[in-house]
Amino acid sequence: MFEVEDLNVHFGGIHALKGISLRVDEGEIVTLVGANGAGKTTTLRTASGLKKPTSGRITLDGKDITKLSAQDRVKRGLCQVPEGRRVFPAMSVSENLDLGAYLRRDRAGVAADLTNVFERFPVLGERRRQLAGTLSGGEQQMLAMGRALMSRPKVLLLDEPSMGLAPLLVQEIFSIIADINAEGTTVLLVEQNANMALQVAHRAYVMETGTMVMSGTAAELSQTDDIKKAYLGG
Ligand SMILES: Nc1ncnc2c1ncn2[C@@H]1O[C@H](COP(=O)(O)OP(=O)(O)O)[C@@H](O)[C@H]1O
Ligand SMILES: [Mg+2]
C-alpha cells in the first residue's frame, strides 16, 4: 500500500535519514518508534512531501509518488497529522475541518465525512463554533485527526498523537486510532510511547539516529530484551 525504499534525507550537512526502508500493507497499523532525534518526523515529512529526499523512492498503491507535491499526495490518499497538532488556533473547529477537505469536489461525500467526524469525536460537534485555540490538548489532537480524515485518506500518517496528553486521553486517542484502522484506513504511527504503540500496532520498526535497526511484528518486538530495556521501561 505504502512503501519507502532506501530513503536518504539531508538538512545541510546533517544526514538525517541514512537509507531507510519501510512498508505498510493495506489495512495495517505499523508503528515507527525511536528516541528523540532518531528521524521519525523527518520520515513522515518526507513521505508526505514536505521535505525533499536526497535519494530514494516512495510509492503509494504501487505508484511512484516521490516527485509529487504534498497536495497531490493528499489527493491520492496520503495524509499526515503533524507533530504538535498544528490546528489553526484563530479559526473555528468547523473551519479547521473544512480545510481538511479543501482539495475535494464531492460535496455530498464531504458532508457525509463531516457527520462521521462528529460521530467519532462528539466533542468537536459540541464545539464546532469554538476557536480551535481554546481547545484542550486532547481536543486539538482530535481536531487534527478529524481534519486529516476530512481528506478521506487511504493511508494516515500520525506523528506523536499522544504527546503531552494525560494518560486517560492517551488511552482514548489510541482506541480511536484502532477504530479508524478497523474501519479501513491504513495507519503509519510514529510514537515515543512505544508501550501503547506496540499494543495497537500490527508491525513495528525501530529507528536510531537515521537508521532502521529492527523490525517485526508488534508482538515479537514487545518481547525483545533490547526493546524492553530501551523503550518499554525494562
Ligand atoms: N528543519 C530541520 N533543520 C535541521 N535539522 C533538522 C530539521 N529537522 C530535523 N532535523 C534533524 O534531523 C534529525 C532527526 O530529527 P527528527 O526527524 O525531528 O527526529 P524525531 O522525530 O525522531 O525526534 C535530528 O538530528 C534533527 O536535529
Ligand atoms: Mg518527531
The model's pLDDT over 90-142, given as tens digits with 9 standing for 90+, comes to 999 999 999 999 999 999 999 999 999 999 999 999 999 999 999 999 999 99
- Give me the pLDDT at residue 230, please: 81
> Within 13 Å, how many C-alpha atoms sit on residue 39's CB side?
26
pLDDT score of 234 more than 70: no
Residue 228's pLDDT is what? 81
Query: What is the mean predicted confidence (pLDDT) over 21-33?
Result: 97
Mean of all residue pLDDT scores within the chain = 95
Ligand nearest to the CA of 160: 2
The pTM for the full model equals: 0.95
Instruction: Say how far apart CA 27 and CA 60 lie, in whole Å.
Output: 14
The residue to mutate among 14, 17, 46, having the most atoms of ligand 1 within 8 angstroms of its beta carbon, is 14
Domains of the chain as residue ranges with CATH: 2-231 (3.40.50.300)
Write the pLDDT tens digit of every residue in 169-205. Answer: 999 999 999 999 999 999 999 998 898 999 999 999 9
**Atom of ligand 1 minimally distant from the CA of 42:** 17
For the chain, what percent of residues have pLDDT higher than 70? 100
Distance 209 CA to ligand 1 centre (A): 10
Q: Which are the contacts of 171, defined by CB distance < 8 A and separation ≥ 6?
A: 196
For residue 185 the three cell numbers come to: 484506513
First to last CA, the chain: 34
Give, using CA atoms, the residue closest to atom 18 of ligand 1.
41
For residue 145, the CA-to-ligand 2 centroid distance in Å is 17
Angstrom distance (rounded) from CA 226 to CA 45 = 28
Question: What distance in Å separates the CA atoms of residue 116 and residue 118, rounded to the nearest whole number?
Answer: 5
Q: Which is the closest atom of ligand 1 to the Cα of 159? A: 21
Of 104, 88, 144, 98, give the one whose Cα is nearest residue 121.
144
Whole-angstrom CA distances from 218 to 6, 30, 56, 169 are 23, 8, 26, 22
Q: Ligand 1, from 42, 191, 213: best to mutate by most atoms within 8 Å of Cβ?
A: 42
Q: Residue 45 CA: which ligand is closest? A: 1
Is residue 82 within 8 A of residue 71, CB to CB? The reply is: no
**Cα 42 versus chain centre, distance:** 12
